[in-house]
Amino acid sequence: MKIIAKDRKGKEHILEGRDGWSVMEILRDGGLDIAAECGGACACATCHVYVTDGWYEKLPEPSESELDMLDMALAVEPGRSRLSCQITCNDATDGIKVTVAPE
């Protein structure tokens, strides 16, 4: 399964997802500059990404706690913004496209 991720400089990275891992973990493991300060606890909003190319709609809806936490993210774009620690890699997300949001 693949994750196609654009970093803050606009460079595209094709990363190998791992079943059950979060997209945040794959981005971090792949060396992208993503703070993820709380380590994936949905507690800091520093793993904010834009989910693009029709993938936002394909994902399960964000939880109430994720929506709450997104209030603390910067440059939130409704219909695109997600916390990457709350997106789980699996067959259904194979090929997902994300862009790391600005700091």
Partner 1 sequence: MTAAPIETDVAIIGAGPIGLFAVFELGLLDLKCHLVDILDRPGGQCTELYPEKPIYDIPGLPIVTGQELVNKLLEQISPFNPQFHFGEMVTGLEKLADGRWKLKTDVGTQIVAHVVVIAAGAGSFQPKRPPVPGIEHFENAGDGMGVHYAVRKMETFRGKNILIAGGGDSALDWVINLAPLAKSLTLVHHRDGFRAAQHSVNQMRELEKEGKIKFHVASVKSIHGEPGKLSSVTLSGADKKEWDLNCDAFLPFFGLTIKLGPIAEFGINLHENMIPVDTARFQSETPGIFAIGDINTYPGKLKLILSGFHEAALMAQAAFHIARPNEKLRFQYTTSSSSLQKKLGVS
Q: Which of 103, 101, 5, 102 is nearest to 53 (CA)?
A: 5
Q: Give yes or no for residue 37 binding partner 1 (CB under 8 A).
A: yes
How far is the C-alpha of 72 from the C-alpha of 103, rounded, in Å? 12
Contact 49, 80 (CB under 8 A): no
Q: Which of 1, 4, 35, 59 binds partner 1 (CB under 8 A)?
A: 35
Q: What string marks each residue from 44 to 83 as x (binds partner 1 by CB under 8 A) or -? A: xxx--------------------xxx-xxxxxxxx-----
Closest CB to partner 1 among residues 29, 77: 77
How far is the C-alpha of 15 from the C-alpha of 32, rounded, in Å? 10
Closest CB to partner 1 among residues 16, 77: 77
Q: Which of 73, 66, 23 is nearest to 41 (CA)?
A: 66
Q: Name the residues that contact partner 1, by CB under 8 A.
A: 35, 37-38, 41, 43-46, 67-69, 71-78, 102-103
